[in-house]
Structure 1
Amino acid sequence: MGAVKPVYVELDIRSDMEKLWERTQSPDLHKQWDLRFTEIRYLPKTADEPQRFRYTTRIGFGLRIEGTGETAGTINTEDGTRTSVLRFGSDSPLSLIREGGGFWRYIPHDSKVTFMTRYDYKTRFGFTGRLIDRIAFRPLIGWATAWSFDRLRLWLEKGIPPATSLQRWLVHYGIAALLAALWLYQGIVPKLVAPWAGELDWLRATGLFNGSERETLAVLGVLEAAFGILVLIRSRDRTIHALACVGLMALAVPALVANPQLWAAPLSPIVLNTAMIGLHGTAAAMSSDLPSARNCRRKPQQTKRTGGEAHDVHL
Structure 2
Amino acid sequence: MRPKALYVETVIRTDLDTLWQHTQDPALHRRWDLRFTEISPLEEPEGHFRYASRFLGITVAGVGVSAATRDWPDGSRTSVLRFASADPLSLISTGAGFWRYTPVPGGVRFVTGFDYGTRWGRFGRWADRVFRPVFGWMTAWSFDRLRLWLETGVSPEDQPLTSPSAGRCGRTRPRDQVTAGASS
TM-score (norm 1): 0.54
SS in 2 for 1:84: strand
Equivalent positions of 1:79-98 (< 5 A) are 79-98=74-93
Q: Does 1:42 align with 2:41?
A: yes
SS in 1 for 2:145: helix
Whichever residue aligns with residue 294 of structure 1, its letter is G
Deviations 1:91-144 (A, max 9, x none): 11110000000000000123210000000000000011001102x100000000
Alpha-carbon distance, 1:300 to partner: 1.5
Q: Does 1:5 align with 2:9?
A: no
- Aligned-residue Cα RMSD (Å) equals 1.3
Equivalent positions of 1:106-185 (< 5 A) are 106-134=101-129, 136-165=130-159, 168-169=160-161
In the aligned structure 1, how far is the partner of 2:175 from the partner of 2:79? Answer: 22
Q: Which runs of 4+ in 1 moved over 2 A?
A: none
- RCO (CA 8 Å, sep 6+): is it higher in 1 or 2? 2
The structure richer in helix per residue is: 1
Q: How many residues align?
A: 176
In the aligned structure 2, how far is the partner of 1:50 from the partner of 1:118? Answer: 23
Which residue of structure 1 aligns with residue 50 of structure 2? Answer: 54
Q: Does 1:301 align with 2:168?
A: no
Which residue of structure 1 aligns with residue 180 of structure 2? Answer: none
Alpha-carbon distance, 1:301 to partner: 1.8
Which residue of structure 2 aligns with residue 177 of structure 1? Answer: none
Alpha-carbon distance, 1:57 to partner: 0.8
In the aligned structure 2, how far is the partner of 1:73 from the partner of 1:137? Answer: 28
Distance 1:58 1:296, change over 3 A: same
Farther off after superposition, 106-115 or 25-34: 106-115
Alpha-carbon distance, 1:60 to partner: 2.2
SS in 1 for 2:127: helix
Question: Does the 8 A contact of 1:9 with 1:299 survive in 2?
Answer: yes
Question: Does the 8 A contact of 1:105 with 1:116 survive in 2?
Answer: yes
TM-score (norm 2): 0.92
Structure 1: gaps spanning 5 or more residues: 173-289, 304-315
